A and B are shown apart, each in its own frame.
Chain A
Amino acid sequence: MSGADNVVWLGTPAFPEAARSALADTRLRTNLRRATGTIRDKRLAVAAELEDWEELRETAATIKSHTLRHLDHHLLRLEKAVTAAGGVVHWAADAAEANRIVTYLVQQTGEDEVVKVKSMATQEIGLNEALADAGIRAYETDLAELIVQLGGDRPSHILVPAIHRGRSEIREIFRREMGEWGRPAPENLTDEPRDLAEAARLHLREKFLRAKVAVSGANFAAADTGTIAVVESEGNGRMCLTLPETLITVMGIEKVLPSFADLDVFLQLLPRSSTGERMNPYTSLWTGVTEGDGPQNFHLVLLDNGRTATLSDEVGRQALACIRCSACLNVCPVYERTGGHAYGSVYPGPIGAVLTPQLVGIENAASLPFASTLCGACYDACPVKINIPEVLVHLRAEAVEAKRRGRLLPTTEGLAMKAAGAVLGSPRRLAAVQRLAAVGARLVARDGRIGALPGPFAVWSGTRDTPVPARESLRAWWRRTRTPTSEDARTAAEGKARR
């Protein structure tokens, strides 16, 4: 156990199997296609407005990687600055410790309910469930989180957790569930997004006005000043960060930036990459507590939960640079077709495929690094230039090694790869196999095409014809028609000597 629980959902099948059921859900695919299509075009348009977009990405990547290389230093600076500004800093090695701290802090206020700003970190640690166990009700206030919570559902996207739901489903959830949680949905609720947003406004208003405790995440934290940033759109964040008396912010340790001035770069990159806007409607920045304005008690919980394990991998650590914009999900051809639930993790999509196995240990999410064609669209879209394909193949190697360690006999795939390696390790063996394949394939081919293939290739040949290997390989043709070069004579001689 590398420290993280709750990141992966127990009981979710491996990706290929989960993807199969997702693909069968035509409504899901329609919802996803429409949503990701809309956001892709918007992102491209606003990124193209900045002619130095590439330099901005490069700068952000440099800041992030350098900060991670000195993470302890910057976290101690942050702790000092937050404390000096009247906040209290807590450290949590894992989800259980973070949940204990937050539960205790809420209990100290004497309250039995909290309002929450959308936060991946609290989702990751399963905070709502932990609070519920202690008799504390947590109300999600982000519209998409509200849809997920009311629907008894799981998030399927980093930015828009209810992206798998279409408007008519959302209307049904609101009509059915809002009354159970507080103010019911209006009688004549339509499925117009405007009306649905209005219903959420009315439903949550009373909760905001009476809340004494709020829990948030953080997008950024500046180590020099102790300033925390929350980037949002709806105003639910401002409500939670302003109205209650006590604010508890749970933040992954990788969110720290060296200085307030670094926000320059990230506040240009994040909204454009995330919602395709030049700037999101609301960004709140606060430093400790301010007398007479906003919460008078501020707690910052710094969360590890598998991040230091990720940090120890020099290739994999770049995943910690993620600013949770979700651009990689929106451009991913795999995500677009399966949605987020198939990943079985709080962090879906390409970034999830590299982050989840590192947070929970490769053996607990071994199928995720393979849930990609390595097409590279994610890397191009990433505002902090996380080379996701590079980390994916790195983790694939770890997954194979973990499997090798865990068993006495090699897997079928392992044997096949070993055999292929032996063939490809020698031009002579390759030539021999080529001759065999050309003859063998002709026995099963019809009209120069092979229909059904055996074993693991049956899934390929179910939908595709396969061409017959050539009668004469290129190397054979070359030998037959061309004079050998001195290089070839040497190879031939070596071959003889080996025999």
Chain B
Amino acid sequence: MNGRESVLSAIRGALSGVPGSERPGDVPLASVQRADHAGPDVVGLFAERAAEYRATVVRVPATDAAAAVGRALARTGARSLVVPYGLPEDLVPRGPWSLLTDVPSLTVGQLDAADAVVTTVATAIAVTGTVTLDHGPGQGRRILTLLPDQHICVVRADQIAPDVPEALGLLDPYRPLTLISGPSATSDIELDRVEGVHGPRTLDIVVVEDA
């Protein structure tokens, strides 16, 4: 018997007490009422919660978005900016940094040497202060937001979902997905939280609101 058959038959043996009338689809969960954890000010809550996890959050009108990205770069002194395929032109800031476009694909070495990356997001989550990338146009391949040490996310206010279930409902499970809540961190030393390990150590979030 191969592993597959032996595991499956062991499972079936272990579950012989489950009545045949019980179907796998009968999960009685529809009645669960979910409380609203976000409150009325979804955008404000998102900004507050993201900042609590040490992301730098600014709220700007659409006309100021590129400039806000530029200010984030200036703050860290970034010299090079990775620009994913499909990023809207009006989000690319002018300034003393070189622009590295991912067409053709940047190498691992180029990305490791780059200082910063700017992306849009697929959605965001207010209650947890999370941004979610599905790595489609404007968000870049996964590696783009991993190797540069500063990640600047541009989030449209209308992309912010109140809570985890609403956000997951907006995502396409067949795309690679990354949920990001603050810069990389660890609690591995005495369960004390320290920001900045392998992923980007600086996370900037630019929330774009219509005037």
Binding site for B on A (CB under 8 A): 31, 34-36, 38-39, 49-52, 55, 59, 62-63, 66, 69-76, 85, 90-93, 97, 101, 141-144, 147, 160, 162-163, 166-167, 170, 193-194, 196-198, 200-201, 204-205, 208-209, 222, 225, 227, 233-236, 238-239, 241-243, 253, 258, 260-261, 263-264, 267-268, 271, 275, 277-287, 290, 292-294, 302, 304, 308-309, 311-312, 314, 317
Contact status A91-B197, CB under 8 Å: no
Which residue of the partner chain, among A208, A233, A284, A308, contacts B11 with CB atoms under 8 Å? Answer: A308
B2: min CB distance to chain A, Å:
7
B178 within 8 A of A: yes
Contact with A along B96-140 (1 / 0, CB 8 A): 000000000100110010000000000001011110000100000
Contact status A91-B189, CB under 8 Å: no
8 contacts between A and B (CB under 8 A): A70-B18, A90-B3, A235-B197, A238-B178, A258-B27, A286-B177, A293-B142, A294-B142
**Which chain B residue has the least Cβ–Cβ distance from A284?**
B178
Q: State the main secondary structure of chain A at its contact with B.
A: helix
B172: min CB distance to chain A, Å:
9
Q: State the main secondary structure of chain B at its contact with A.
A: loop
The complex places the Cα of A70 from the Cα of B22 at a distance, in Å, of 9
The complex places the Cα of A90 from the Cα of B173 at a distance, in Å, of 22
B184 within 8 A of A: yes
The complex places the Cα of A264 from the Cα of B169 at a distance, in Å, of 9
Interface stretch (choices B30-38, B58-66, B69-77, B87-95): B30-38
Contact status B188-A285, CB under 8 Å: no
Report chain A residues within 8 Å CB of B8: 72, 75-76, 91
Report chain B residues within 8 Å CB of A271: 128
The complex places the Cα of A142 from the Cα of B188 at a distance, in Å, of 9
Q: Say yes or no: A66-B26 contact (C-beta < 8 A), given A49-B37, A264-B168.
A: yes
Contact status B174-A311, CB under 8 Å: no
Contact status A277-B168, CB under 8 Å: no
The complex places the Cα of A50 from the Cα of B61 at a distance, in Å, of 32
Q: Say yes or no: A160-B129 contact (C-beta < 8 A), given A75-B11, A90-B3, A243-B108.
A: no
Report chain A residues within 8 Å CB of B6: 91, 93, 304
The complex places the Cα of A51 from the Cα of B34 at a distance, in Å, of 10
The complex places the Cα of A75 from the Cα of B135 at a distance, in Å, of 28
**Which chain B residue has the least Cβ–Cβ distance from A285?**
B177
A445: min CB distance to chain B, Å:
47
Closest 6 CB pairs of A and B: A235-B199, A235-B198, A312-B14, A308-B10, A279-B128, A70-B24
Which residue of the partner chain, among A63, A162, A209, A290, contacts B176 with CB atoms under 8 Å? Answer: A290
Contact status B32-A281, CB under 8 Å: no
Report chain B residues within 8 Å CB of A309: 10, 14
Contact with A along B14-26 (1 / 0, CB 8 A): 1101100011101
The complex places the Cα of A227 from the Cα of B168 at a distance, in Å, of 13
Which residue of the partner chain, among B24, B179, B186, B200, contacts A197 with CB atoms under 8 Å? Answer: B186
